[in-house]
Amino acid sequence: MKYLPSLPEDIWWHIHSLMPMRDAARAACVSRTFMHSWRRRTSLTFSKKTLGIGEDVCEKDGKARDLTYKVDRIWIEHPGIGVKEVRIEFYDNTTRVCFLDRWLQIAVTPGIEELIVIPSVGHKRYNFPWSLLSEGSGNSIRCLFLSRCVFCPTVGLGLRSLTQITLCYVHITGNELACLLDNSFALQQLGLSHCSKIIRLKIPSLLQRLITLEVSACKRLQTIEIEAQCLSKFWFSGERLVQLSFGEALQLKTLDMHCHGAVCEARANLPSTLPNLETLSVFSYFETVNTPMVGSKFPFLKHLTVKLAAAPAYDYCSLISFFDASPSLETFFLNVSLFTLQRYLPFQILRFK
């Protein structure tokens, strides 16, 4: 690698950019040309895989501890200038917080577009330095993925370029989420999973470009208020049904609900609040009330999927109410757990057919 063929520097930089990150870092150690290229590399991923440490390596054997120092040395050689994508994924609970803070301070600079932080699977969550995203430093970020972090902004961040946010196992309240969403006018996708501190979730009308919303397993969540008028896909999953409030002008076309009592809720209340639905999927873990016969309709509903793991007393014939309410229905799919079918419901299913 000392003596490289005579090629334009841009070609060598392009070749270097195509290498896996571990090989690119090694090449930079033995070549000045590749060292210059390394400092211009726009995508950085730090994980056991990219640094050559197997998933079966534990902290006690010393290799996992070395991971932290390897990454720190790499950052020293790469000042972060021009970086567009950064993924920090560690399963090493011995990683010092000061290292993570330093790496993020280098990474989060004007120009970064994608930031993924998954620091640990341990019980102690990393306190994400949200101030790094303020004062214009995070204005270029388009995709933000945080997992197993504490995220507590106290002022609006104004991330105007954000198009996608995913928070998984993140300690964040509804008010703190509002600070994150403040002035995020470009946001198109929002995903929340296992965010147990959120009690009231409000999706403001200023999110005019929001298309997809996914909320899963936020166990303390009680209310979801959606005012973003262009939202077209909503996926909700939880142990129980929460209070849903939809804005009058909402154009929601696809809804997927996974929770207790979802079938009854869908038939009784959704037609009047979501008249533009075209695709509806409901999965009820436990249904105690037969599907009600009500007069309201789904005038545009074309595709209906019902999945049930219901009590043996449930009357599947009551699902005919959906047919009466859906004059445009094209496909209907019914899925009942095999265990329930075999033990309790052979006669009801035959009668339904």
Q: Which range is most confident: 133-142, 277-286, 309-318?
A: 277-286
> 148-186 as b/e, with b when 16 or more CB fall inside 10 Å?
bbbbebeeebbbeebbbbbbbbbbbebebbebbbbebbb
Is 210's pLDDT higher than 90?
A: yes
* CA dist., res. 32 & res. 18, Å (int): 17
* Higher per-residue pLDDT: 280 or 19: 280
Model confidence, pTM? 0.83
Closest CA to 105 of 95, 115, 92: 115
Question: For the ranges 118-122, 137-141, 159-163, 186-190, which has the lowest average pLDDT?
Answer: 118-122
pLDDT for 317: 83
Question: For the ranges 45-59, 210-224, 284-298, which has the lowest average pLDDT?
Answer: 45-59
pLDDT for 276: 92
Interval 323-348: pLDDT, tens: 989 999 999 999 887 554 444 443 33
Average pLDDT over residues 132-149: 88
Q: Tokens standing for 227? A: 């005012």
pLDDT for 352: 31
* Higher per-residue pLDDT: 146 or 36: 146
Interval 287-309: pLDDT, tens: 877 877 777 899 999 999 999 87
Q: How do the domains of the chain map onto residue ranges?
A: 1-41, 257-353
Q: What is the enclosing helix (H) or strand (E) of 216?
A: strand 212-216
pLDDT for 347: 33
Start-end of H helices in 108-216: 174-181
Interval 317-326: pLDDT, tens: 888 899 989 9
Q: Tokens standing for 213? A: 């919303």
Closest CA to 21 of 45, 39, 56: 45
Average pLDDT over residues 64-86: 69
* CA dist., res. 272 & res. 57, Å (int): 55
Start-end of H helices in the chain: 9-18, 21-30, 32-38, 63-77, 97-107, 174-181, 262-273, 320-325, 338-343, 346-352
Average pLDDT over the chain reads 81
Distance between terminal CA atoms of the chain? 72
314: confidence class by pLDDT, cuts 50, 70, 90? confident
Closest CA to 93 of 70, 117, 68: 68
Closest CA to 16 of 55, 43, 53, 52: 43
* CA dist., res. 113 & res. 120, Å (int): 23
* Higher per-residue pLDDT: 171 or 88: 171
Answer for the pair 4, 12: CB distance below 8 angstroms, yes or no. Answer: yes
> 224-247 as b/e, with b when 16 or more CB fall inside 10 Å?
bebbbeebbbbbbbbeeebebebb
